[in-house]
């Protein structure tokens, strides 16, 4: 269902601030339609498999690891790391690669960043392909990190809250912020692995043991957990619901947009994709009846590739 992977013909480490250097890569067709892939988390980093959503004969495929994520350095750094710093970085990469306009593709947090970028630079976006819509509203965070998904995955939830003292469980995100930023190394890594395992254990309709094992790798867990939690305690550095505000959405309603959403996505439930459709009726919304959150769910992968195939010749 996804395309065979091609090796990058260009890659590098781009200094974007006094602190941050970003890993980026370009693969596919040098003269193809440029597309930028915005990974999830935040803090999740890219995977070479992410190139597989795009026909390498038609697209010039740009992947980069956002601040503190993946191969970008310093790993897990929270300084100068906000939604709006990342929007600036996307423009810096676009200018570096001498691209006028490009397709934008993002899932989960990547959909958040895609919306923030498109609303900031609508004239630079040829199309949007979004998966597992996440707009970082308080209600969305509450469902996954306080009282919602916990009812569907009680055993994983029990593991998730285990590091948190009973007296602090009324605000799980805040309690994890203290442990993820502890001066004690063991406290930090134990919390990071528990945070990451909660998400990786609930990402698929049928749990993927490899994904759960990935959650327990030190470097991934540290970056994913610390950066996600940093953004969440700061409400994504946005007003609650900002990305769904009419005046923000009206800036992008002319952009061809496809949304692919898993019916049983417990991390970014379908209610947010539906709310986006209500304010952005021109978009095409697919709700996949047998899928959870992950872009690797077969039904989600299939529709994402169909969307990028459709937009390749725009």
- Does 41 engage in binding with ligand STX (CB under 6 A)? yes
Give the integer Cα–Cα distance in Å for 243 and 252: 11
Stretch touching ligand STX by CB under 6 A, among 36-44, 164-172, 180-188, 234-242: 36-44
Q: Of 105, 109, 157, 160, which lies in the binding site for ligand STX, with binding defined by CB under 6 A?
A: 109
Indicate the pairing of strand 125-131 with strand 59-64. unpaired
Q: Is 108 an active-site residue?
A: yes
Beta strands in the chain (DSSP E): 10-15, 21-28, 33-38, 59-64, 102-107, 125-131, 257-262, 284-288
Q: Is 265 an active-site residue?
A: yes
- Does 73 engage in binding with ligand STX (CB under 6 A)? no
Q: Of 149, 189, 267, 291, which lies in the binding site for ligand STX, with binding defined by CB under 6 A?
A: 267
Residues facing residue 63 across a β-bridge:
25, 37
Q: Of 24, 26, 28, 40, which lies in the binding site for ligand STX, with binding defined by CB under 6 A?
A: 40
**Residue corresponding to tokens 């996440």:** 134
Q: Of 39, 103, 226, 286, which lies in the binding site for ligand STX, with binding defined by CB under 6 A?
A: 39
Q: Which is nearer to ligand STX, 28 or 132 (CB)?
A: 132
- Does 176 engage in binding with ligand STX (CB under 6 A)? no
- Does 204 engage in binding with ligand STX (CB under 6 A)? no
Q: Of 28, 34, 44, 70, which lies in the binding site for ligand STX, with binding defined by CB under 6 A?
A: 44
Enumerate helices (H) and strands (E) in the chain, giving the number of each: 11, 8
How far, in whole angstroms, is CA 60 from its chain's centroid?
20
Question: Please, what is the minimum distance in Å from the beta carbon of residue 267 to ligand STX?
Answer: 5
Give the integer Cα–Cα distance in Å for 125 and 102: 5
How far, in whole angstroms, is CA 160 from its chain's centroid?
21
Residue in 77, 108, 196, 295 annotated catalytic: 108
Stretch touching ligand STX by CB under 6 A, among 38-46, 180-188, 242-250, 255-263: 38-46
Q: Which is nearer to ligand STX, 212 or 252 (CB)?
A: 212
Residue in 265, 286, 294, 295 annotated catalytic: 265
Q: Which is nearer to ligand STX, 294 or 308 (CB)?
A: 294
Contact present, 42 and 28 (Cβ < 8 Å): no
Neighbours of 138 (CB within 10 A): 12
- Does 106 engage in binding with ligand STX (CB under 6 A)? no
Q: Is 27 an active-site residue?
A: no
Residue 171 has phi, psi (to 5 degrees) of -145, 85
- Does 134 engage in binding with ligand STX (CB under 6 A)? yes
Give the integer Cα–Cα distance in Å for 293 and 143: 14
- Does 202 engage in binding with ligand STX (CB under 6 A)? no
Q: Which is nearer to ligand STX, 33 or 37 (CB)?
A: 37
- Does 69 engage in binding with ligand STX (CB under 6 A)? no
Q: What is the DSSP string of 70-135?
A: TTSBSTT--TT-SHHHHHHHHHHHHHHTT-SSEEEEEETHHHHHHHHHHHH-GGGEEEEEEES---
Give me the residues that bind ligand STX (CB under 6 A), please: 39-41, 44, 108-109, 134, 199, 203, 228, 267
Which positions are annotated as active-site residues?
A: 108, 265, 293
């Amino acid at each position: 269902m996804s395309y065979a992977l091609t090796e990058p013909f260009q890659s590098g480490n781009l200094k974007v601030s006094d602190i941050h250097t970003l890993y980026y890569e370009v693969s596919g067709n040098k003269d193809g339609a440029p597309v930028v892939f915005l990974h999830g988390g935040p803090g999740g980093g890219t995977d070479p498999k992410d190139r597989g959503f795009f026909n390498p004969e038609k697209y010039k495929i740009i992947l980069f690891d956002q601040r503190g994520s993946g191969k970008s350095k310093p790993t897990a750094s929270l300084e100068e790391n906000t939604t709006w710093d990342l929007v600036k970085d996307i423009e810096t990469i676009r200018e570096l690669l001498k691209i006028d306009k490009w397709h934008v593709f993002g899932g989960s947090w990547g959909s958040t960043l895609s919306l923030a970028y498109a609303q900031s630079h609508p004239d630079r976006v040829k199309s949007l392909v979004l998966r597992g819509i996440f707009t970082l509203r308080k209600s969305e965070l509450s469902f996954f990190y306080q009282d919602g998904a916990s009812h569907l995955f009680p055993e994983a939830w029990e593991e998730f809250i285990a590091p948190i003292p009973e007296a602090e469980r009324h605000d799980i995100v805040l309690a994890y912020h203290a442990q993820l930023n502890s001066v004690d190394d063991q406290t930090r890594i134990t919390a990071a692995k528990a945070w990451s395992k909660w998400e990786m254990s609930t990402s698929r309709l049928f749990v993927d043991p490899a994904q759960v094992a990935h959650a327990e790798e030190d470097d991934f867990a540290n970056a994913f957990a610390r950066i996600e939690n940093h953004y969440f305690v700061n409400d994504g550095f946005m007003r609650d619901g900002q990305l769904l505000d009419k005046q923000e959405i009206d800036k992008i309603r002319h952009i061809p947009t496809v949304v692919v959403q898993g019916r049983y996505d417990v991390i970014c439930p379908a209610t947010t994709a539906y709310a986006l459709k209500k304010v952005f009726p021109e978009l095409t919304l697919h709700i996949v009846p047998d899928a959870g959150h992950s872009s690797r769910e077969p039904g989600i992968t299939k529709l994402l590739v169909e969307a990028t195939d459709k937009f390749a010749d725009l």
